[in-house]
């Protein structure tokens, strides 16, 4: 599964996957997406695993994609056909997480935004603590939410609330996220991991074949049209990164100032 910031550990029937790039707010890179995808897919060959916990070290669960790797909108060095294929990596990752046979529990501390929030919605259950904040900040860079993550957001919090989250790019507090159904439980910060392990142990004690079939059927029903509807989100992203608004969004982020968007 290669070197990278994710590590996989197993104790009994419970697998824990940890993102350990806390010094960079657990920002994701193209390489780390591939590493996590390989870990998710490897669980299909692990019949002893009955529950999976996804967590992170450090202050924040994740700041999304490392913006240093996004750049300022220049694409000239890479053929468009390859850009399109590379941009599909996040969608393939979420599909791999969603298709993990075992039930998955995501543990969220601090901020989870962008791609990190997408990873959380691809899991079956989510546990936070009072300081947790969730958001999809892509719109503030002038780009769409991709990775086929929009249906997952809608399935998690409902249509109007998902629109509010994705269209504003705002961060929402833990109580709001609990009320909206994003979080299944909000516990004290020092009990977060223990609460996830308790849930994992409860799930692992159940008949694994029945639990995994129920998960598969529920996901298939809820997301029956996801791939058909969201096939063009990569192309929308490629269009967005070619706009002046995207360049302004990235510049304003690094310059720590409010952006001015023109619709160009």
Task: Tell me if the pTM is above 0.75.
Answer: yes
Tokens representing residue 138 in the block: 């892509």
pLDDT score recorded for residue 67: 80
Q: Per mean pLDDT, which range of 83-87, 114-118, 233-237 is the poorest?
A: 83-87
pLDDT for residue 168 is more than 70: yes
pLDDT score of 145 more than 90: yes
Domain-wise residue ranges, the chain: 6-189
Q: How far apart are CA 13 and CA 242, in angstroms?
A: 47
CA 243, 248, 254, 256 torsion: positive or negative? negative
Cβ atoms < 10 Å from Cβ of 129: 20
- Looking at domain 6-189, its CATH class is alpha beta
**pLDDT > 50? residue 125:** yes
User: What is the structure's pLDDT at 73?
Assistant: 45
Q: Span 184-213, mean pLDDT?
A: 98
Q: How high is the mean pLDDT of the chain?
A: 94
């Amino acid at each position: 599964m290669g070197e990278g910031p994710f590590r996989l550990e197993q104790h009994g029937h419970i697998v824990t996957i940890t993102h350990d790039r806390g010094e960079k707010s657990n920002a994701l890179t193209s390489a780390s997406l591939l590493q996590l995808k390989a870990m998710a897919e490897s669980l299909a060959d692990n019949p002893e695993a009955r529950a999976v916990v996804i967590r992170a070290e450090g202050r924040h669960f994740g700041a999304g994609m490392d913006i240093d790797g996004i750049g300022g909108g220049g694409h000239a060095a890479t053929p468009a056909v390859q850009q399109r294929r590379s941009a599909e990596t996040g969608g393939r990752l979420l599909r791999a997480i969603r298709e993990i046979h075992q039930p998955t529990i995501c543990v969220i501390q601090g901020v989870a935004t962008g791609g990190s929030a997408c990873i959380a919605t691809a899991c079956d259950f989510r546990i936070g603590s009072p300081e947790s904040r969730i958001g999809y900040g892509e719109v503030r860079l002038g780009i769409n939410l991709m990775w086929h993550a929009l249906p997952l957001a809608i399935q998690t919090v409902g249509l109007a609330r998902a629109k509010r989250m994705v269209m504003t790019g705002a961060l929402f507090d833990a109580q709001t996220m609990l009320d909206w159904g994003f979080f299944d439980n909000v516990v004290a910060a020092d009990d977060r991991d223990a609460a996830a392990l308790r849930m994992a142990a409860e799930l692992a004690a159940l008949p694994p074949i029945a639990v995994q079939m129920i998960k598969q059927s529920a996901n298939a029903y809820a997301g029956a049209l996801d791939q058909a509807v969201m096939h063009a989100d990569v192309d929308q992203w490629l269009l967005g990164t070619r706009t002046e608004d995207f360049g302004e969004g990235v510049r304003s982020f690094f310059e720590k100032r409010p952006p001015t968007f023109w619709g160009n």
